[in-house]
Amino acid sequence: MTTASKVPHTSREKLVVSILAEAGRALSAPEILELAASRRPMNKVTVYRILDRLVEAGIAGRHSAGDRTMRYCLAPCAGEHGHGHFYCTGCGLMECLDLDAMPIDRAALETALSRRVDHLELRLDGLCEACRKR
């Protein structure tokens, strides 16, 4: 994360990075477009191009959600060894989870797999608190 090539170059890239940082959850490209609109309107193609670049540079992560729309968040925005998401099937919001703080037994996984596990990615689908109360 310290190499110059990983630093966002353009003001648009910086804006997308700050939108992702402020959100603290995974956003879809349309959500990013909407949040950018009041600050610096961009077209869809531009946003997708910027997101591709950020993913390539390892700044952002691209994650599939239950609705098949990709979501983007800063990587790693949560745990160092694991990044997870909770996708709400009710409202479509995708939260980032710190898997390092979850009760996941990495050693047991490694034993079961007979492999070394360096990084964990997990998506949980369900209903968020607000949707559960509806």
Site residues for Zn ion per CB under 5 A: 26, 73, 77, 88, 90-91, 96, 128, 131
Shortest separation between residue 85's beta carbon and Zn ion, angstroms: 6
* Closer Cβ to Zn ion, 115 or 134, answer by number: 134
Helix (H, G, I), strand (E, B) or coil at 96: strand
* Closer Cβ to Zn ion, 1 or 112, answer by number: 1
Distance CA 56, CA 132 (A): 36
Q: Which residue's entry shows tokens 């909407």?
A: 34
Which 8-state DSSP code applies to residue 78?
S
Distance CA 98, CA 14 (A): 24
* Closer Cβ to Zn ion, 7 or 91, answer by number: 91
Shortest separation between residue 2's beta carbon and Zn ion, angstroms: 21
